[in-house]
Amino acid sequence: MGAGNLRQRHRRQRAAQVLDAAEALFARHGYEGTRIEEIAETASVAPATIYNYFATKPNLLMELALRHVHAVLPERRAFLKSLPDEPLKGIEAFERLLAEQALRFLSRECWRIIMSAQFLEPQGRASRTGARLNNLIKQHYIRMIRTYQARERLDPACDPVALSELIVGITTMNFSRFIAGSNGDLEDLLAMGVPHIRLILAGLLCAPEA
């Protein structure tokens, strides 16, 4: 292994240590209650190392969110390979999976920081990462919609890209409303979206063949 590859390996290992430490401390003390110095001490690195790798605390949180998304991608792919027969049930089940995954790793407080990044620093690194996370969900929906069109369960004339953007826009708004508060559980979050999803799909569903 060359010196450059060794340095890259060490850098990845230290970055993973930092993310592990941040995840544990955010869960224990909250995002705002955790200082970079505490993360550095737990990860056995210098604070300067964290700033060198991530530049800011929000960037660190975004990298943590990305790591979790990569970890749960197999779950999403498995779901998309075995969709329920009915489009409405498929979308509702996928939204349940997304919500469970989001709240499995990060708190509402962390998600508030992630979702506010695009407004606080529109051209920043954290904002770009948030856009990547959102775009990934859109790609999943495009695949789902095309599958249902191929099964003749959704209107083939419907634009999969436009429909996916509409669904993600509505569900993202509902998730924002959910994390803005401190009350309610997963079922409350999902209940917010059911009327909207049904309204979106009205007129697009095709009856199954007899």
Read off the pLDDT of residues 55-77 as tens digits, 9 standing for 90 and up. Answer: 889 889 989 999 999 999 999 99
Q: Mean pLDDT lowest for which of 31-40, 80-89, 110-119?
A: 110-119
Tell me what the mean pLDDT of segment 158-162 comes to. 96
Tell me what the mean pLDDT of segment 29-33 comes to. 94
Return d(Cα 177, Cα 156) in angstroms, integer.
33
- Domain borders along the chain are 1-54, 57-201
109 — pLDDT class (breaks 50, 70, 90): very high
Q: Where do the DSSP E strands lie in 79-185?
A: none
Read off the pLDDT of residues 116-138 as tens digits, 9 standing for 90 and up. Answer: 877 777 777 777 777 888 899 99
pLDDT for residue 3 is more than 60:
no
pLDDT for residue 32 is more than 80:
yes
23 — pLDDT class (breaks 50, 70, 90): very high
pLDDT for residue 1 is more than 60:
no
209 — pLDDT class (breaks 50, 70, 90): low
pLDDT given at position 4:
64
The pTM of the whole model exceeds 0.75 = yes
The fourth-level CATH superfamily of domain 57-201 is Tetracycline Repressor, domain 2 (1.10.357.10)
pLDDT given at position 115:
86
Return d(Cα 117, Cα 58) in angstroms, integer.
8
DSSP codes joined into one string, 61-88: HHHHHHHHHHHHHHHHHHHHHT--SSHH
**178 neighbors 188 (Cβ within 8 angstroms):** yes
Return d(Cα 54, Cα 49) in angstroms, integer.
9
For residue 65, CA distances in Å to 20, 48, 81, 197 come to 12, 22, 24, 26
DSSP state of 209: P
Please tell me the class of the 1-54 domain.
Answer: mainly alpha
Amino acid letter, residue 120: L
**147 neighbors 83 (Cβ within 8 angstroms):** yes
Return d(Cα 2, Cα 4) in angstroms, integer.
5
pLDDT given at position 33:
95
pLDDT for residue 97 is more than 90:
yes
DSSP state of 208: P
